[in-house]
Amino acid sequence: MKYIVGIWVLGFGILVTSASLAANSSEFRISQAGAGGKEYLPGDFVHVMVEAPVDTASLTTIMPDNSEIKLVHERRTNIWHGLWQVPMGFKKGSYYAKLKALDLEGNVLEGQTNAFVIGELTLIMLVGKGATREAEAKKLAVEAEILAREAEEKARRASELAGAKTAPLQSVMPPPQLPKAGAPVVKRKSPVVVRSNSAKTRLITSAHFYLEKLDYEKARPQLIALLRMEPGNREVRAMLKRVETVIKIRRKRP
């Protein structure tokens, strides 16, 4: 009774063997077809395929790691299938799988496949490379845009807060009275804070406009003016530094 045996790794080459399984060891024969074939690596899936006689009741394989796999019979054919994954860290070398069959009469038949090779994985080291100038410029541009939006939002809130503070003063002011004869007329000037907030809002809006257009040459003067108004503003200072870096990178391009 002959069992045609095949072993291969899914998606890779094929190693075909054939073995004669019999109760008498003198009748046991192994074909040399496929010897010296595919080398499997840890993590590969090995597909065990056996073509058995119709009176086969069960088929079992014992793999090189001593794990026992019960093969599954494919319907309408005489093919039995099993799947084994080479364990990670498995020692390299030449191995074979043992086969054990049971027929309908209760006879136990044994044999083995041809030898197949299991190799080992190779570790490599990747050395990191610095970012290119273009990538660095894009990164700085994105960071500058984010800072500009944050500054614009803060300026908008400051403007709203300034408007909220001046509104109650207008509502509680008494109606104007005619000045008495000979009394000096005093004109009140607008608070300096309001003018300052308005100027900062215009500068931030202008800077953000140029940053959105990626026109860093025009955005730079706006940021410098903002920094003069608020020398201690770290966000504006950091944004100006990034913009100047992008300008330098652009000027160095061929």
Q: For residue range 207-242, list pLDDT tens digits in order.
A: 878 777 778 888 888 888 888 888 888 888 888 888
pLDDT (average), residues 69-78:
88
Interstrand relation of 39-40 and 116-118 (parallel, antiparallel or unpaired): parallel
The domain boundary, picked from 118, 151, 176, lies at 118
Same domain, 62 and 31: yes
Q: What is the pLDDT of residues 19-60, one digit of tens each?
A: 334 433 323 233 333 344 678 888 898 888 888 888 888 999
Q: Is residue 170 part of a domain?
A: no
User: Does residue 167 form part of some domain?
Assistant: no
pLDDT range class, residue 165, cuts 50, 70, 90: low
Identity at 206, one-letter amino acid code: S
CA 221 to CA 148: how far, in whole Å? 14
Residues 104 and 215 in one domain: no
Query: Which DSSP state fits 64?
Result: T
Structure tokens at 6: 């095949």
Please check whether residue 222 lies inside any domain of the structure.
Answer: yes
Domain-embedded: residue 209: yes
127: in domain: no
- Average pLDDT of span 105-131: 79
Regarding whether 156 and 106 lie in a shared domain, the answer is no
Q: Is residue 232 part of a domain?
A: yes
Q: What are the φ/ψ torsions at residue 241 (nearest 5 degrees)?
A: -65, -40
Judged against a pLDDT cut of 90, whether residue 67 lies above it is answered with yes
Question: Does pLDDT of 66 surpass 80?
Answer: yes
Mean pLDDT of the chain: 72
Residue 224 CB neighbour total at 10 angstroms: 15
**Whether 56 and 16 share a structural domain:** yes
Same domain, 213 and 143: yes
Q: Is the pLDDT of residue 244 over 80?
A: yes
How many domains does the chain divide into? 2
| 102 shares its domain with 198 | no
pLDDT at position 1 is 55
Residue 30 · residue 112 · CB < 8 Å: yes
Supply the pLDDT for residue 85.
Answer: 92
Six-digit token pair at 209? 């406009």
What number of residues does the chain have?
Answer: 254
| 149 shares its domain with 216 | yes
Which tokens hold the place of 211? 């940053």
Model pLDDT, residue 186:
52
Angstrom CA distances, 243 to 14, 149, 229, 250, stand at: 60, 14, 18, 11
Say which amino acid occupies 45: F
More confident residue, 175 or 11: 175
Same domain, 12 and 96: yes
Shared-domain flag, residues 26 and 109: yes
The pLDDT, as a whole number, for residue 166 is 54
Q: Which of 56, 89, 118 is at the close of a domain?
A: 118
pLDDT at site 160? 77
**Which of residues 88, 118, 148 is at a domain's end?**
118
Domain span including residue 34: 2-118
Question: What's the pLDDT score for residue 2?
Answer: 52
pLDDT at 8 over 50: no
Does residue 50 share a domain with residue 149? no
Strand-pairing partners, residue 248, are none
Q: What percent of the chain has pLDDT over 90?
A: 7
Based on the fold, state whether residues 7 and 105 are members of the same structural domain. yes
Report how far apart, in Å, the C-alpha atoms of 86 and of each of 9, 13, 63, 81, 208 are: 10, 16, 9, 16, 59
Same domain, 90 and 65: yes
Q: In this prediction, what percent of the chain has a pLDDT beyond 70? A: 68
Q: Which of 252 and 69 is assigned the larger pLDDT?
A: 69
Q: What CATH number does the domain containing 26 carry?
A: 2.60.40
